[in-house]
Amino acid sequence: MNKTGVTLLGSTGSIGVNTLDVIARHPDRFRVEVLAAHSSVEKMAEQVRRFSPRLAVLFDQGAARRLEQMNLGVKVAHGMDGLLEAAGWPDTQLVVSGMVGAVGLRPTYLALELGRRVALANKETLVLAGEAMVAAAQKSGAVMLPVDSEHNAIFQCLAGSPRRFVERLHLTASGGPFRDLPLERFGEITLAQALAHPNWKMGPKITIDSATMMNKGLEVMEARWLFGVPPENIQVFIHRESIVHSMVEYTDGSVIAQLGVPDMRTPIAYCLGWPDRLAMDTPRLDLAQMGSLRFQPVDPAKYPCLGLAVAALTRGGGAPAVLNGANEVVVAAYLEGRFHFSRIAGILTQVMEGLAQEVSRPQAPPFLTQISGVDDALAADQWGRQAATGLLPG
């Protein structure tokens, strides 16, 4: 069997490490061509020694220089040029887009334009420029495989059924660490608690987004573009066990769900192996042992960020990108301990109110009302970042 050449963007992160775990179990099927990350020199060096890629990219120039000085026998590159070289690497058939943040946009777009198979974890790509990404994939014939467990579940539930029979998507959410905490006690939340996700082990930014449920809001946006379903037909509810990863409801009333133990290696393996299924010896689901699976509606008062995200998607234009950029700034500042958890949604609400005011002005920048491509998406993201920065306490 010909091995699939893989470019892994974000190799040192949670998605990256899990992807390498899957690849390491199937050395007969995959060849790591390129690894890319931001500045984790030691981790990257270790991965280079183990997987022998032909190109290693560290976005940070100083970090890339240190990697080069280690003389590991690999070509080293840095910056956006390095990431674009990684995404467009000629011997790569599959690009795993697993970086965190808007930096993932250009490389992912290039991979789609070039018709590569793209396993997409970097949710910012679809949140900021979903329409442009889908258009690029359609034009080149690129296949976009969602890594996020919910979208991966929906992708699996859609297999074999024409999209015109889809009535609704049901996105499940764990509810994060505060699902049982009454709203009156949200003032007691600590950063350590917000970082302790009950079901999933993920990077810090997405873990905070799970606690606020902004993450689910971003997932509604992703689902809208990945599956072409309007926001009003995407339902979110809390499923605390994170066993049912999401569902598709069809016009005949049938609901198809995908279930599994919460382990990101399962959706990653699906994307890597697609259309085959890889053999994995990950923990297995034992429903009889579990006894019950619970589902409940989302309390909008506890999770205002979800409402903000759905409103931004409904507003359209640059609103999702503005919200996402603002959220990145606010979460980063929160992770630095600059303010309390309960202020996150308030700052983001102010940003979105500012946006509504701005777009009502005749001289408002066009990218706030219409995203025509990656540049517009990044401009709207930047607008959101600046607006949020101006509102941060201290």
Ligand X SMILES: NC(=O)c1ccc[n+]([C@@H]2O[C@H](COP(=O)([O-])OP(=O)(O)OC[C@H]3O[C@@H](n4cnc5c(N)ncnc54)[C@H](OP(=O)(O)O)[C@@H]3O)[C@@H](O)[C@H]2O)c1
Closest to ligand X by CB, 5 or 262:
262
Among 32, 64, 99, 243, binds ligand X (CB under 6 A): 99
Closest CB 245 distance from ligand X, rounded Å: 11
Is 266 one of the binding residues for ligand X (CB under 6 A)?
no
Among 202, 223, 271, 355, binds ligand X (CB under 6 A): 202
> Which range binds ligand X by CB under 6 A, 120-128, 175-183, 279-287, 357-365?
120-128
Among 123, 179, 224, 385, binds ligand X (CB under 6 A): 123
Q: How many residues does the chain have?
A: 394
CA atoms within 13 A on the CB side of 159: 13
Closest CB 331 distance from ligand X, rounded Å: 11
> Which range binds ligand X by CB under 6 A, 119-127, 176-184, 234-242, 282-290?
119-127
Least Cα distance to 97 among 76, 116, 77 occurs for 116
Least Cα distance to 260 among 290, 219, 226, 218 occurs for 290
Closest CB 319 distance from ligand X, rounded Å: 19
> How many C-beta atoms lie closer than 10 Å to residue 172's C-beta?
26
Separation between Cα atoms, residue 22 and residue 16, nearest integer Å: 10
Separation between Cα atoms, residue 333 and residue 243, nearest integer Å: 32
Is 329 one of the binding residues for ligand X (CB under 6 A)?
no
Closest CB 36 distance from ligand X, rounded Å: 6
> Which position's Cβ is nearest ligand X?
13
> Which range binds ligand X by CB under 6 A, 96-104, 173-181, 253-261, 316-324?
96-104
CB 180 within 8 A of CB 109: no
Cβ-count burial of 321 within 10 angstroms (0-12 exposed, 13-18 middle, 19+ buried)? buried
Separation between Cα atoms, residue 170 and residue 264, nearest integer Å: 19
Among 34, 37, 126, 378, binds ligand X (CB under 6 A): 37
Is 6 one of the binding residues for ligand X (CB under 6 A)?
no
Is 352 one of the binding residues for ligand X (CB under 6 A)?
no
Task: Encode 366-393: b = buried (16+ Cβ within 10 Å), e = exposed.
Answer: ebbbebeebebbbbbbebbbebbeebbe
CB 20 within 8 A of CB 51: yes
Is 203 one of the binding residues for ligand X (CB under 6 A)?
yes
Closest CB 151 distance from ligand X, rounded Å: 9
Closest to ligand X by CB, 32 or 391:
32
Is 264 one of the binding residues for ligand X (CB under 6 A)?
yes
Location of structure tokens 């102010």: 350
Is 10 one of the binding residues for ligand X (CB under 6 A)?
yes
Is 381 one of the binding residues for ligand X (CB under 6 A)?
no
Closest to ligand X by CB, 266 or 322:
266
C-alpha distances in angstroms, 108 versus 39, 115, 197, 217, 380? 19, 11, 28, 21, 18
Closest to ligand X by CB, 122 or 266:
122
Is 40 one of the binding residues for ligand X (CB under 6 A)?
yes
> Which range binds ligand X by CB under 6 A, 7-15, 255-263, 307-315, 355-363?
7-15
Separation between Cα atoms, residue 385 and residue 35, nearest integer Å: 28
Among 5, 7, 12, 391, binds ligand X (CB under 6 A): 12
Is 120 one of the binding residues for ligand X (CB under 6 A)?
no
Is 173 one of the binding residues for ligand X (CB under 6 A)?
no
Closest CB 265 distance from ligand X, rounded Å: 10
Is 16 one of the binding residues for ligand X (CB under 6 A)?
yes
Closest to ligand X by CB, 111 or 368:
111
Residue ranges in contact with ligand X by CB under 6 A: 10-16, 36-40, 59, 83, 98-101, 103, 121-124, 148, 200, 202-203, 206, 264
